[in-house]
Amino acid sequence: MKLFSHHEFDNHEQVVFCHDAASGLKAIIAIHNTNRGPALGGCRMYPYASEAEALNDVLRLSRGMTYKSALADLPLGGGKSVIIGDPRKQKTPALMRAMGTAVERLAGRYIVAEDSGTSVADMQQIGQMTRHVSGIADKYDSQGNRRSGDPSPMTAHGVFVGIRSSVRHQLGRSDLQGIRVAIQGVGNVGQHLARELHRAGAELWVSDINSEAVERMVDELGAIPVSGKEVVNLDVDVFAPCALGAVLNDETIPRLQARVVAGAANNQLEESRHGQMLAERGILYAPDYVINAGGVIDVCYEGRDIGQSEVLHKVNAIGDTLDEIFRRAQRLQRPTHEVADQLAEERFLNRQAAA
């Protein structure tokens, strides 16, 4: 299995393979860049078909975290971890504690948080073995109501803000009343996003491999259920990928009828050239690591002397960042993902930790 010559290797500072025989832990931690600060990124647990597939995922995801934190102007670098295994069948407290030990060995270079297949409770188990964990402390919303450390609501709110910005630029609309949105994936983030969109008056189509999650959105919000394949084909205004990555590719892009792609999934472009394909079709793409930064903003300020209203203000600024990217892309006649990459690299390359 290749590493330094791997097609997703991008000058990563450190890649660690972790194993614990007693608990069955098989994990990979990738630290992409720490110029701005320690590498923060979630721990994903997924039944990868192979170790090569897991490595591919963790390399892509960790790089995305560097760019995400830079464009959110956070004092953080980028990292990610993956655990190979089915979270519904193989996850145990002992396995999570073993993961915590692996994180502790990195002495603060990597800060772990929850991701797909892991939860606040899992992070609390990890936290028994290391203090380099985030997303576990209860927080308060702008009304003073306590909520859990789960960053999903803030991730969803950032995507909501990003959809508003995208719709304003592409469709000339200042509101979302009657805007048709197809959400691919209604897990934690997708459900929170669907609720915000519903309150704003959007019409919703939803798909997910979990039929119960789809039924919940149908019953609660009046959303229209569609299949995973059909959701890409719909005649809607916005396509919101909120499941796994690489959904924008040679097969799906020609089928898109939406004029905006804006969702929470990481690594939505299967290859960089697919951003150019979207631009050539006149589809406005909100770069994923810009629009889905609400969660990392939320966990970044956990335990710091900063109020929830200020965190919300920083998440709302995602819209301002997208506005800048869209304007520059239009002026330069370049795809939005290339402009976003350039802005991020200006902030983290050859930089010391941000104040």
Active centre residues (catalytic)? 80
Beta bridge partners of 84: 46
Q: Which residues pair with 267 in a beta bridge?
A: none
Closest by alpha carbon to 220, among 251, 198, 240? 198
DSSP string, 31-57: EEE-SSSSEEEEEEEE--SSHHHHHHH
- The C-alpha atoms of residue 172 and residue 181 are separated, in whole angstroms, by 16
Rounded-to-integer distance, Cα 66 and Cα 33, Å:
6
User: Which residues, 6 or more positions from 259, have their beta carbon under 8 angstroms from its beta carbon?
Assistant: 170, 171, 237, 238, 282, 283, 284
State how far the Cα of 70 lies from the Cα of 299, in Å rounded to an integer.
Answer: 15
Determine the straight-line distance between the first and last CA of the chain, rounded to whole angstroms: 38
Residue length, the chain? 355
89 touches 110 (CB < 8 A): no
| Identity of residue 226 | V
Name which of 166, 134, 165 is nearest 150 in CA terms.
134
The CA–CA distances, whole Å, from 297 to 83, 92, 193, 303 equal 23, 28, 17, 12
